[in-house]
Amino acid sequence: TVVEQAKPLRKAFTPVAISTGDAVVVPEGYVAEVLYRWGDPLTNSTAHGWRGDASEGWAEQENQAGDNHDGMSYFPLVANADGASESGLLVMNHEYVNYEYFYSPGNDAADWLAPWTADKAKKAMAGHGVSIIEVRRARDGAMSYVPGSQYNRRITGYTPMEITGPAAGAESLKTADDPTGTRVLGTLNDCANGKTPWGTYLACEENFNGYFGSTDPAYVRTALERRYGVNTSSSYRWHEVDERFDISKNPNEPNRFGWIVEIDPFNPASTPKKRTALGRFKHENAEVVIARDGRVVVYMGDDQANDYIYKFVSDGKYDPRNQATNRDLLDSGTLYVAKFDNGDATGDFKGVGEWVPMVHGMGPLTAANGFASQADVLVDTRGAADLLGATKMDRPEWIAANPKTAGEVFCALTNNSGRTVTDDANPRMANRYGQIVRWNEAGGDATALSFDWDLFLVAGNPIAYSDRQDLRSGSAVITAENTFNSPDGIAFDHDGRLWIQTDGNFSNVNDYQGQGNNQMLVADLKTGELQRFLLGPSGCEVTGLAFTPDMRTMFVNIQHPGEIGSHPNRPKKADGSTYGDNDIARDPLAFSKWPEASGGRPRSATVVVRRADGRKLLG
């Protein structure tokens, strides 16, 4: 085979202009094809086919693609170089569900969810979790998934899982249904992901707090619940019909979420494992690096305004010759939290940092401060990091380690409207646009305890803010042609280019003028280029990214097209009133018809992007 070399970006493709339309836009010479939509069947049974009106119940939904596709990895089914890109397992998260599209409108004109039942809540749980699907490449390069494949599997909000690591069996993880504190049903709000070199997938539980509520109006929240945002009300309404999600009845159930879940996609009968050694917070992704000495390093962000960046270093070493011995490497090791200090000078957007160990008995992590064991440190990772004086960041999203430069790591800090004091790493008070911070571990060693850091880029809008001294205009690499806001998904491809996906404001007005819909860009670290590659349809977020080893196929997830609920400019009806969720449920094609109007409603979906001429993506 001829090895096709990567080109400078300007020679590889013509950047795309913004779009505010209802389509996926890619550069000339590329095609974008829909692979796997919410509701697509995993089996060959006609009972599991998409109906189009969302009238399916949980029994159908658990055999169909879940909703809100997010982080994603590709696992080759055959190891040899010629076959590795031809067939594989595509594994992805289904972060949450959009109720306004998820249920068929009922007969109550005022409330499309009425009557609210345990079966409807269970359908929502079935729409969460993970998909494992077999994908195959055709001779023309197109990809399709294989309904009925022996590998196809849905993991849902009620799939039995094991809790492992130092917090397994802790008092705070025990419930009436599980007095052992080691068995839990389901994974929820899996946002981004990770992939290990021993062939497993990591699903990362993010905003798990939103699924819990209290039927007792007098319930008083604990400090732990407040720190994690567990509340007495929940718009998912599961607690109304399922006591497991009622904190007044099952106060420990939320402690069993907020973890990283390791899944063996090659064994459909395997039990997913919640790895408590990696800490409990609103996980974004889990970037896995094998350090020079063979220890496993996992970088993780906690996506909340003013929360932290973490890394885990395993005790054991990865052995590529004996994969069976790697299976439980994520159960023992040290968790660290990051401090980003300004360094010698302030205002230069760079400095020095350190990784502070989160070990029971060390420093302030003692019983006197509420941490009686390592399990306590892990269940309340946030509280422990608060005591250790970690640096409050502008919402840490994905972390990506450069495969070409040992020890160089990037984290997307998406935005922050709640900052009260700035520092060099988080230099704007009302941070609408976000930034990407980069650190270099001391000696290029991923296990190092100190690092240098700088801001790789500061996103901004030079159209809205033409004075380039104004930080809102962004750093020098940001131009009128590539401006964007809210970097979220970031990942390196096999050629060492950094891809950036956005989940931000798509109003295209005022501070966001000229930025269009959510999008994907690519940066070349060698040339300093940054070009826009893809835009998503109306209301979507672009997230989730995987490549075949030959770099001819890219998988991208389009999440929640038509999601207008949180939009600042929620559209008005003809009578001047604002569209409510009930209106959207009854008129589901009002804001997006993507991927096709015949689907009956907008649907999150995996898209395959490839070059029409069959060559490498950026070759």
**Nearest distance, CB of residue 332 and ligand FEO, angstroms:** 27
Kindly state whether residue 563 participates in binding ligand FEO, applying the rule CB under 6 A.
no
Q: Among 501, 496, 607, which Cα is nearest to 551's?
A: 496
Q: 3-state DSSP call for residue 601?
A: coil
Q: How deeply is 146 buried, as exposed, middle or buried, from its count of CB atoms within 10 A (0-12, 13-18, 19+)?
A: middle
Residue type, 493: D
Kindly state whether residue 348 participates in binding Ca ion, applying the rule CB under 5 A.
yes
Would you say the C-alpha torsion 141, 144, 148, 151 has a positive or negative sign?
A: positive
Question: E-assigned strands of 186-282?
Answer: 190-195, 201-205, 260-263, 273-275
* Binding residue count for Ca ion, defined by CB under 5 A: 9
Instruction: Measure the CA–CA gap between 115 and 108, rounded to whole angstroms.
Output: 8
Residue type, 104: S
Q: Which is nearer to ligand FEO, 92 or 291 (CB)?
A: 92
Among the listed residues 253, 331, 394, 488, the single contact to Ca ion using CB under 5 A: 488
- Residue 238 · residue 219 · CB < 8 Å: no
- Residue 10 · residue 532 · CB < 8 Å: no
Among the listed residues 15, 147, 343, 619, the single contact to Ca ion using CB under 5 A: 343
Interface of this chain with ligand FEO, residues 139 to 198, rule: CB under 6 A:
191
Q: Which is nearer to ligand FEO, 60 or 303 (CB)?
A: 303
Q: For residue 335, what are its two tokens? A: 């968790």
Among the listed residues 342, 507, 508, 513, the single contact to Ca ion using CB under 5 A: 342
Residue 376: name its binding partner from Ca ion, ligand FEO, none (Cβ under 5 to 8 Å by kind): none
Interface of this chain with Ca ion, residues 522 to 581, rule: CB under 5 A:
541
Among the listed residues 303, 376, 493, 550, the single contact to ligand FEO using CB under 6 A: 303
Q: How deeply is 333 buried, as exposed, middle or buried, from its count of CB atoms within 10 A (0-12, 13-18, 19+)?
A: buried
Residue 262: name its binding partner from Ca ion, ligand FEO, none (Cβ under 5 to 8 Å by kind): none
**Nearest distance, CB of residue 356 and Ca ion, angstroms:** 19
Q: Which is nearer to Ca ion, 88 or 351 (CB)?
A: 351
Proportion of the chain in helix, strand, coil states, percent, rounded to 5: 15, 30, 55
| 593 φ, ψ (degrees, to nearest 5) | -110, 5
Would you give the binding string for Ca ion spanning residues 21-60, x where CB under 5 A is met?
----------------------------------------
| 543 φ, ψ (degrees, to nearest 5) | -155, 155
Q: For residue 468, what are its two tokens? A: 């380039």
Instruction: Measure the CA–CA gap between 457 and 477, rounded to whole angstroms.
Output: 7
Would you give the binding string for Ca ion spanning residues 413-432, x where CB under 5 A is met?
-----------x--------
Q: Which is nearer to ligand FEO, 300 or 446 (CB)?
A: 300
Instruction: Measure the CA–CA gap between 499 and 391, rounded to whole angstroms.
Output: 26
Q: For residue 38, what are its two tokens? A: 């919410």
Would you give the binding string for Ca ion spanning residues 182-211, x where CB under 5 A is met?
---------x--------------------
Angle at the Cα of 341 from the Cα atoms of 225 and 456, rounded to 5 degrees? 95
Helix (H) or strand (E) holding 565: none
* Binding residue count for ligand FEO, defined by CB under 6 A: 7
Q: Which is nearer to ligand FEO, 93 or 214 (CB)?
A: 93
Kindly state whether residue 56 participates in binding ligand FEO, applying the rule CB under 6 A.
no
**Nearest distance, CB of residue 503 and Ca ion, angstroms:** 6
Q: Which is nearer to ligand FEO, 488 or 493 (CB)?
A: 488
Q: Among 207, 366, 385, 196, which Cα is nearest to 283's?
A: 207
Q: Which stretch binds Ca ion (CB under 5 A): 147-155, 264-272, 344-352, 381-389?
A: 344-352
Kindly state whether residue 206 participates in binding ligand FEO, applying the rule CB under 6 A.
yes
Q: Counting every residue, how long is the chain?
A: 619
**Nearest distance, CB of residue 283 and ligand FEO, angstroms:** 9
**Nearest distance, CB of residue 219 and ligand FEO, angstroms:** 27
Q: Which is nearer to ligand FEO, 19 or 486 (CB)?
A: 486
Would you say the C-alpha torsion 439, 442, 443, 444 has a positive or negative sign?
A: negative
Instruction: Measure the CA–CA gap between 301 and 580, rounded to whole angstroms.
Output: 33
- Residue 135 · residue 108 · CB < 8 Å: no
**Nearest distance, CB of residue 353 and ligand FEO, angstroms:** 22
Residue 206: name its binding partner from ligand FEO, Ca ion, none (Cβ under 5 to 8 Å by kind): ligand FEO
- Residue 279 · residue 338 · CB < 8 Å: no
Interface of this chain with ligand FEO, residues 262 to 291, rule: CB under 6 A:
284
Residue 493: name its binding partner from Ca ion, ligand FEO, none (Cβ under 5 to 8 Å by kind): none
Burial 5-30 (b: 16+ CB within 10 A, else e): ebeebeebbebbebbeebbbbbbeeb
Kindly state whether residue 60 participates in binding ligand FEO, applying the rule CB under 6 A.
no
Kindly state whether residue 95 participates in binding ligand FEO, applying the rule CB under 6 A.
yes
Among the listed residues 397, 493, 524, 550, the single contact to ligand FEO using CB under 6 A: 397
Among the listed residues 165, 351, 539, 599, the single contact to Ca ion using CB under 5 A: 351
Kindly state whether residue 394 participates in binding ligand FEO, applying the rule CB under 6 A.
no
- Residue 135 · residue 87 · CB < 8 Å: yes
Q: Which is nearer to ligand FEO, 134 or 206 (CB)?
A: 206
Interface residues toward ligand FEO, by CB under 6 A: 95, 191, 206, 284, 303, 397, 488
Q: Which residues bind Ca ion (CB under 5 A)?
A: 191, 342-343, 345, 348, 351, 424, 488, 541
